[in-house]
């Protein structure tokens, strides 16, 4: 079984006048939530082999915090511009193309595409919204990521910063 973990970037500042959306940074809550959510993943022994992130400041910063907390080497963190505000179709293409031999692949991206992708790829549950810094992880019976299809993810698990369970 292969595992895919979808991570929405942590909470960001509101866009300022004249500021590009791409350049928005994490606000203090996002800077607190990201290491906490990474620790939750580590406690469950869910360490990705490869992380592919949107290069937008908020997404790559979140990915870097996770990589640090999970003790991932820098070479295991990649960026792909296609993940910036990607549609479900583009997310699927990136995963199929770049997932490689990773047994556990993490994608760090943005809504609404990440939530829509999670909903389409899960065989078990509806996904209405991935809040900031949410983690949605699924397993897939695949030999390689290029075989990824809609409605195929099982054993879904969903966690987010305000989840107290």
20 belongs to a structural domain: no
Which residues, 6 or more positions from 28, have their beta carbon under 8 angstroms from its beta carbon?
none
The rounded radius of gyration (Å) of the Cα atoms in the chain is 15
Q: What is the pLDDT along the chain (165 residues), one digit of tens a residue?
A: 999 999 999 999 988 888 899 999 999 999 999 999 999 999 999 999 999 999 999 999 999 999 999 999 999 999 999 999 999 999 999 999 999 999 999 999 999 999 999 999 999 989 999 999 999 999 999 999 999 999 999 999 999 999 875
164 belongs to a structural domain: no
Domain containing 118 — which CATH number? Answer: 3.40.50.1240
What pLDDT shows up at residue 18? 85
Based on the number of CB atoms within 10 Å of its own CB, is 143 exposed (0-12), middle (13-18) or buried (19 or more)? exposed
154 belongs to a structural domain: yes
DSSP 12: B
Strand partners, 140: 2
Number of domains in the chain: 1
78 belongs to a structural domain: yes
CA distance 114 to 150: 14
17 belongs to a structural domain: no
Q: Which of 59, 37, 157 is nearest to 108 (CA)?
A: 59
Q: Taking the CA of residue 84 as centre, how many other CA atoms within 13 Å lie in the half-sphere pointing to its CB? A: 13
**How far is the CA of 68 from the CAs of 34, 62, 65, 154, in angstroms?**
11, 10, 5, 28
If one counts every other C-beta atom within 10 angstroms of the C-beta of residue 101, the result is 10
What pLDDT shows up at residue 165? 55
132 belongs to a structural domain: yes
Domain residues for the domain of 74 are 2-11+25-159
* Token pair listed for 51: 């992380």
* Cβ atoms of 45 and 139 closer than 8 Å: no
- The three-state secondary structure class of 2 is strand
């Amino acid at each position: 079984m292969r595992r895919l973990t979808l991570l929405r970037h942590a909470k960001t500042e509101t866009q300022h006048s004249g500021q590009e959306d791409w350049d928005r940074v994490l606000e203090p809550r996002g800077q607190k939530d990201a290491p906490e959510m990474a620790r939750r993943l580590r406690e469950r022994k869910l360490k990705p082999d490869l992380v592919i992130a949107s290069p937008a400041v908020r997404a790559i910063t979140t990915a870097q915090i996770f990589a640090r907390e999970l003790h991932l080497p820098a070479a295991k963190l990649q960026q792909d511009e296609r993940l910036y505000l990607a549609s479900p179709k583009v997310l699927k293409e990136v995963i199929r193309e770049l997932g490689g031999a990773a047994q556990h692949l993490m994608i760090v991206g943005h809504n609404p595409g990440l939530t829509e992708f999670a909903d389409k790829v899960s065989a078990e549950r509806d996904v209405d919204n991935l809040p900031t810094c949410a983690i949605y992880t699924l397993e897939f019976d695949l030999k390689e990521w290029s075989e990824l299809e809609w409605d195929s993810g099982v054993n879904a698990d969903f966690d987010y910063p305000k989840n107290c369970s």
